[in-house]
Amino acid sequence: MSRTWGLIIGMVVLFAAVALILSQVLPGPRRATDYLVIGGAATMVCLLALFLVLIATTMRSPETFFRKKK
């Protein structure tokens, strides 16, 4: 399995886990906006995790965000 497929499967599993946890934590009865909040929070967690994984694995340079002027 390639790295890309591993990241895709990992993000789908993480999204499902966060959405399931948040659906158990939020009290019912739920409205449409509650599902919007659950999906938005799960998306934000997945994007943060993807960002951290990509920074940790591909950009190992100490100058990832800032470059020194010569």
Mapping DSSP onto H, E and C, the string for 2-68 reads CHHHHHHHHHHHHHHHHHHHHHHHCCCCCCHHHHHHHHHHHHHHHHHHHHHHHHHHCCCCCCCCCCC
Q: Average pLDDT over the chain, rounded to whole?
A: 87
Q: How high is the pLDDT of residue 56?
A: 81
In the chain, pLDDT over 90 holds for what percent of residues? Answer: 56
Q: Indicate the pLDDT class of residue 36, thresholds 50, 70 and 90.
A: very high
Q: Indicate the pLDDT class of residue 25, thresholds 50, 70 and 90.
A: very high
Could you give the CA distance from residue 6 to residue 46 in angstroms, rounded to a whole number?
A: 14
